[in-house]
Amino acid sequence: VFGTSAAYIAAQMNDRAETIALAFQEAVPTRLSAIEDVPDVAAALAEVDVLVVGGPTQMHGVSAGLRHMVESLGDESLKGIRTAAFDTRLHGMKVVTGSASVRLGRLLRRRGAWLVVPPASFIVEGREGPLQPGEVEHANAWAAEVLHAVGIRVPAHAHVPV
């Protein structure tokens, strides 16, 4: 039993996803899972207060694995679930680099999820590179915004070590 917790599901587990998850883990108990490790999403959400879903932008949109996971859920399967969506993408205008988070947010809303904050993008250095300088702080601020939106107070000491 987690009590107040944030579930985090990423399309592709990598250092970037783990860095963003740390922003939540510093504040509240958090489950960090890869898409392929969550066979029953409904069961995984049973004790969750906030569902944070994200992954890399691929081909200007949501990765196939993440899209398949969300689309395989029933139409109202996320009804009332407080949710936030994010992506990681290359630096540049979204029209050039693409951004998965907005489309992901739409997919989640179609399943009944309530997006508590606008979708976020975190900029990476190259296709496989780490988050760019300043993005860890961006992740901390975004995590605090998400948690605040659902009424979870973030401890003043909560931050991701840089």
For 8-48, give the DSSP string.
Answer: EEESS--HHHHHHHHHHHTTS-EEEEEGGG-S-HHHHTTT-
CA angle 121, 45, 161 (to 5 degrees): 45
On the question of pLDDT at 160 being above 50, the answer is no
Whether pLDDT at 150 is above 60: yes
Global pTM reads 0.86
Query: For position 116, what pLDDT does the model report?
Result: 96
Per the listing, tokens 């489309």 go with 103
- CA pair distance 138, 23, nearest whole angstrom: 9
Residue 38's contacts (CB-CB under 8 Å, 6 or more residues apart) are: 9, 44, 69
| Residue among 143, 93, 161 nearest 123 (CA) | 93
pLDDT for residue 119 is more than 90: yes
pLDDT exceeds cutoff 90 at 121: yes
Distance (Å, whole) CA 50 – CA 20:
15
C-alpha neighbours within 13 Å on the C-beta side of residue 65 = 16
User: 47-68: per-residue pLDDT in tens?
Assistant: 777 888 888 898 888 988 888 8
